[in-house]
Structures are given as structure tokens and as C-alpha cells.
Structure 1
Amino acid sequence: MMNMAQARPIAPNSPSQKQKLPAPRRGLHLSPHMVDVAVQVAVVAALAGIWEFGARFGALNPFLLPPLSVVLGRIWEDLIAGTVPVDLGLTLYRALLGFAIGAVIGIPAGILMARSNVVRWFLDPLVSIGFPMPKIAFLPIFILWFDIYDTSKIIMVAFSCFFPIVAATYAGCSSLDKWPIWSARSFGAGERELLWEVYLPMAMPQILTGLQVALPVGMITTIVTEMLMGGRGVGGAMIMAGRFADSVGVFAGIVQIIILGFVVVKSVEMIRRRILIWHPESRR
């Protein structure tokens, strides 16, 4: 007769049963963010290879499109000579200062438009007319009013950045849910507490989106004004190279603009994630 101890089934969590389970397979697991970065790097590398080999082997005219290695060599020479840091520094200074002025004026204006009917009646027609208008058309006026140096360029950048910032801020503050505002008021919150603890936190994603749109606009405006007005800066260096048929110098400026724009845009994205660490979009 079979022993009772032998007939008893093995418990699912017993050591002998655990030993029979297959070991999990270990492999390389890539996050979606890493996959996106890898794809972007592969696309950029492919375009750079097509550019280099197409110009090297005669598929493209070397004068109209010089090889990438030659362009990078020119950038390195200018970097050693000290012209690249000066040009990039001046361009970045004008773009960021004009952007900051536009943000300092545009964010309060958008908040006042959302909270005051009088301000909205006054500013809404101006914003509606000025937003779709090409801002660079005002450059001759700014040159006449101010000067041909940094002042007119910075004011031109601030003027271009103002409209997307004020529009995004107004949209964010005017579309807020009323229940948190009513709840805060029922607990005795004043207008200042409502502004800093309800309006701004809830509208912050929309405001930051407006800032992210305005910053590239400001950089584009800076390059265009430097090209039109001349002087030091990436745009001025490019237009000077174009006047002397220096195609390598022109493409060197384009590569510098690409690198500068990439660094600035990615920096703004990192700042956005830091500011909105409490927001659901940061979890995604």
C-alpha cells in the first residue's frame, strides 16, 4: 500500500517546484525613448552620408553643395580663429534677450486678457491683426525708430515672440475648469492666491507650449535680421560669405544654425519636463 507521504502532491510554492520553473531569458530591452533617439540618429547619419558621398563622387555639384567634411573643416578653422564663438554668442544673445522681453510682456498680457474684459477688448483686435502679419515687415520702422545695431534687432525679436506667447497664455487661462476656481474662492482665496496657485499652475502647459513655439520664431527672426542688416552674427557671416560666392562659408553657417537650434530646442524640452514634473504628460 502506498505511503500517505508519497501520495501527497507537491505544494506549488515548494522549493522543488520552484526549481523546475524555467529561468527567465535575459536580453536587451530598449525603452521607446531610446528607440526614438536611435532612429533620429540613424536618419541624420544617413542624410550626412548622402551629402558627403554625393558631393565627393560627382553626383552633386561641389560648388553648389560642398562636401560635409569640407564644411566641418571650415567650422573647425573658424572655431580655432575665434569667429564661431563670437557669431554664435551674438546670435544667441539677441535671440534669448528678445525672447525674454516678449515673454515678460506677453505672459502678463495674456493673463490680463483672460481675467479682464476691458483688457481683452483692447488687446484682442491688436493680437488678431498682428499674429498672422509677417513681423519682418516692421524692420524698416524699427531701424528708423531705434538704430541699426543690436537694439532694433532685439526689439524685432521681442515683437515676433510676443504674439504666440500672448495667444497661448490667453488660451490657457481662458479655458480653465471653473470648479477649482470656485472651490478656491469658497475657501477664502484672494485674487493673488488664485493667480499663483490656480491660474498659473493649470495654464502652465499651454503657456510653455507658447514659449516653445516663440523661441524658434525668435531665432529665425534673429538670423533674418542679421542677414538684412549685416554685422557680426551667424546671419551676417552667411550673407557676407554669399556675397563673395563662398558656398562653404554659407553651408558652415547653416550647420551652425542647425546645431544651435537643436541644442536650444532640446534644452527647452528639458526645462519643460522639470517644470511640469507634477503633470501627467511627464509620466508619459
Structure 2
Amino acid sequence: MSEILRSDALPSASPSLSGPQPVRFRGGGFTVRRHPWAALAAFAVLIGLWEGASRIGLASPLFLPPPSAVGAALSVMVTDGSLWLNLKASLGRIAVGWTLGTLGGMLVGFAMGIGSLARAVGVPLVSAFFPIPKIALLPLFILWFGIGEPSKFATIGFGVFFPTVIATYSAIDSVPRNLIRMAQSFGLPWRSILRSIVLPGALPGILAGFRISSSIALILVVAAEMIGAEYGIGAFVLMAGNLMQTDTLLAGVLVLSLMGLTIGTLLSLLERRLLKWR
């Protein structure tokens, strides 16, 4: 009887002990997965709700025209050539102003991130000038540079300059100091340290700053064109609003949205190309 109890008390052989079992991989957290159709589906649902609300009379066509009317107005803009004329003017101003502001901001940001004296002088000045609304300085720029393109370039460049300085300075300052000290202990010259350690480590933060500064440039070019420009998407939207052509106005807003989406896509491609090592 005792032998029977002993045999019953023994645990049965577990299948997990019969042989080695594969261990599930647990290191895939925070992995970015692509969902290419998610954004398109969200846009389709949003446009469908908007069109449906207009069709059943929940939204007035005067104050909120349906997407079909906006698309028709955009088609007219493409046909009569006004879209390309205004788009060319706005893109040219963004390209010049953003390039000038970005180059200047990167130079100052690098100096502040590397040099102690430049940091001591630059941080208070940037903190003092950055909160100033840049569009408020447009009348002053018009007095200095005239009503033409230079005043718009100055407004966009000045607005882009400070975010680029902050992004570049913060990105360089966040590079691990241990890597720099290790390179110095091996006797690497400063030029090699900047090229091989500081710049690659700061590049993600600098590119993130590009996204912010490009959005600021788009906002400022619209505001500058609304104040004093004959051509440009901002001037076109202002004219459509004054004439109560809300479908044409929203078509211009749609063009601005597509411009921002295109710039963001180009920056994403640039990030993939420059940050392959991640």
C-alpha cells in the first residue's frame, strides 16, 4: 500500500523536461512597424464624414463646402494656371528663407554646443529673442528691405533661425561625453571627433529640428504673403476669403496641407538615408 502511495505521489514527467524548448524572443519592444494604409483609411473616413454631413444639410455649403466642391475649385486652379503661379512664388520664398535661417542656425548652434564662451553669450540671447512673434517684425523688415522679396526672406529666415539654433545646440549637448572622452584618450584630433562622434550623435536631433523649422517656414510665408504679396498661396487664400469663395479658400488650404505633407515626406527620406546606422 505504501509503495502504491509513493508511486502516486511521484510527479509525472512534464513535457517541458523531455527536451530543450525554444525561448520566445522578448527584445522587440518599441520596434517601429509600418502601417501604410492606416493614414489613407483615416483620411478616407474623415472626408466621407465631411461629405456626408454636407449632403444631409448638417453643414452649410457657404461656411463649410463639401470636399467635392473643394476638389472642383482645386481643379479650376490647376486648369487656369493660378495654382502653379502661386505655388511657385511660395515655394521659392520658403526655399530661400529656410535655407538662410537653417545654415545660420546650424552654425550658431554648433558654436554654442562646442564652445563655452559661445554658449555663455548665445543662450541668454536666444532665450530673449526666440519668444518674439516673427511676423510682428515684418513691418520693420519692410522698412529695412522694402516691400519686395527680401523682407519676406528675412521674416522666414529669422523665424527658422532660432528653432534651428536650439535644436542643434541641444542635440550636440546630448551627445554622450564618455564617447568624446574615450576618443580624446586615444589621441584623436578634434576634427575627427566632431566628424565621427559629435555630428552622427547630434544628427537625429538636428533633423528633428528641421521638421519644426519647415513647419514654421510654411506658417510664416503664408502670413507674410497675406500682409504684402501679389502672388503666393497666402495671398490667394486671403483674396478668396475676402470674396467669400470658401470652396476656393479651402482649396488653397488643401494645397498648404499637401505642401507640408510633401516636405515631411522629403525629410523622412533624408532621415532614412542619413540615419541608416540606427
Q: TM-score range by the shorter chain?
A: 0.7 to 0.9
C-alpha displacement at 1:123, in angstroms? 1.5
The equivalent of 2:53 in structure 1 is: 54
Please identify, of 194-203 and 153-162, the stretch whose mean Cα deviation from structure 2 is larger.
194-203
Moved more, 190-199 or 100-109: 190-199
Match in the other structure for 1:13:
none
Map 1:67-106 → 2, pairs under 5 A:
67-106=66-105
Question: Hey, what does 2:62 align to over in structure 1?
Answer: 63
The answer for the alignment partner of 1:202 in structure 2 is 201
Amino acid corresponding to residue 238 of structure 1 in structure 2 = V
- Check whether the contact 1:224–1:235 (CA below 8 A) recurs between aligned residues: yes
Counterpart in 2 of 1:135?
134
Query: For residues 152-163 of structure 1, what are the structure 2 equivalents within 5 Å?
Result: 152-163=151-162
User: Corresponding residue for 1:114?
Assistant: 113
Q: Distance in 2 between matches of 1:89 and 1:154?
A: 15
Q: TM-score, normalised by structure 2?
A: 0.84
2:276 match: 277
Deviations along 1:145-174, one digit per CA (max 9) or x if unpaired, are: 112122111111111111111101111112
Q: Which residue of 2 is the match for residue 16 of structure 1?
A: none
**Rounded Cα–Cα distance in structure 1 between residues aligned with 2:271 and 2:250:** 31
User: Does 2:177 correspond to 1:185?
Assistant: no
The equivalent residue for 1:33 is 34
Count how many residue pairs are aligned between Structure 1 and Structure 2: 247
Query: How far apart in 2 are the matches of 1:50 and 1:175?
Result: 45
Please name the residue that 2:221 is paired with.
222
Residue 56 of structure 1 deviates from its aligned partner by: 2.7
Partners in 1 of 2:166 and 2:33 — Cα distance? 33
| C-alpha distance in 1 between matches for 2:271 and 2:87 | 24
Letter in 1 for 2:39: Q
Task: Give 1:130 deviation, angstroms.
Answer: 1.9
The equivalent residue for 2:258 is 259
CA contact (8 A) 1:230 1:239 kept: no
Q: Distance in 1 between matches of 2:34 and 2:85?
A: 35
Residues in 2 aligned to 1:74 and 1:136: alpha-carbon distance in whole angstroms: 29
CA deviations 1:206-233 (Å, max 9, x no partner) are 1111111111111111111111223201
Unaligned runs of 5+ in 2: 1-31
Q: Shift of the alpha carbon at 1:96?
A: 2.2
Distance (whole Å) between structure 1 residues aligned to residue 272 and residue 129 of structure 2: 31
Which residue number corresponds to residue 144 of structure 1?
143
1:121 deviates by 2.0
Q: CA contact under 8 A between 1:56 and 1:62: conserved in structure 2?
A: no
* Alignment check: 8 A CA contact 1:106 1:166 kept: yes
Which residue number in structure 2 is paired with residue 231 of structure 1?
230
Deviations 1:126-161 (A, max 9, x none): 111122222211111111111212211111111111
User: What code does the residue aligned with 1:247 have?
Assistant: T
Deviation at 1:40, TM superposition (A): 1.7
Partner in structure 1 of residue 26 of structure 2: none
For structure 1, the 5+ residue unaligned runs are 1-30, 280-284
* Aligned equivalents of 2:142, 2:65: Cα separation in 1: 36
1:79 and 1:147 mapped to 2: Cα distance?
A: 31
1:175 is displaced (CA, Å) by: 2.3
Give the fraction of aligned pairs with identical amino acids, expressed as a percent. Answer: 33
Q: Which amino acid aligns with 2:140?
A: I
Matched with 1:11 is none
Cα distance in 1 for partners of 2:50, 2:148 equals 36
Return the offset for 1:185: 2.2
* Partner AA of 2:196 in structure 1: E
SS in 2 for 1:76: helix
